[in-house]
Structure 1
């Protein structure tokens, strides 16, 4: 989607695998590299700021969960693409 009038970019992705520690950590690192950008994730009734690994994991998003991500700030379009790539490349938890 193109940026909205407030500069926010929204994407909806369906998780191919559960959202666990590795992709949550990747999201937090991405958010850390883009300090002026806000990355919000929503799965069902649960929301999380991508800067918080535990908050992302606490969403309990499993395979097939639809996650809406909203990115605001500089380079929101590119950051949203990176977030979507991380979420759709999530690897399964071993064990």
Structure 2
């Protein structure tokens, strides 16, 4: 592991199984709150949002089938990116 994990960067690309609504947006904000040293950025098309802002995430207007890129910078970036990707793809299981 490098001397400083502040420069760790991880990226995940997911295709949304459901529209990005309040529940996953809130879960992403909670994830960001638990990892204060990390920055979680979402990109869908030309729209970007910091995961700390529920309204910013929802304002992206990402619908079913949208490809969302999650970029995490900071300590534990790989694990945080995995968890963020899981939140975005878990909408399918929640409806089952």
Q: TM-score, normalised by structure 1?
A: 0.88
Give distance in 2, aligned partners of 1:90 and 1:49.
Answer: 20
* C-alpha deviation, 1:8, in angstroms: 1.0
Give distance in 1, aligned partners of 2:86 and 2:39.
Answer: 17
Match of 2:3 in 1: none
> How many residues are matched?
87
2:13 matches 1:12: yes
Match of 1:69 in 2: 70
Give distance in 1, aligned partners of 2:83 and 2:10.
Answer: 12
Structure 2: 5+ residue stretches without partners: 1-6
* C-alpha deviation, 1:76, in angstroms: 0.4
* C-alpha deviation, 1:59, in angstroms: 0.1
| 2:8–2:76 Cα contact (<8 Å) kept | no
Q: TM-score, normalised by structure 2?
A: 0.87
Structure 1: 5+ residue stretches without partners: 1-5
Match of 1:42 in 2: 43
Match of 2:58 in 1: 57
* C-alpha deviation, 1:35, in angstroms: 0.3
Match of 2:33 in 1: 32
Q: Which runs of 4+ in 1 moved over 2 A?
A: none
Post-superposition Cα deviations, 1:55-95, rounded to whole Å, max 9, x if no partner, equal 0000000000000010011100000000000000125xxxx
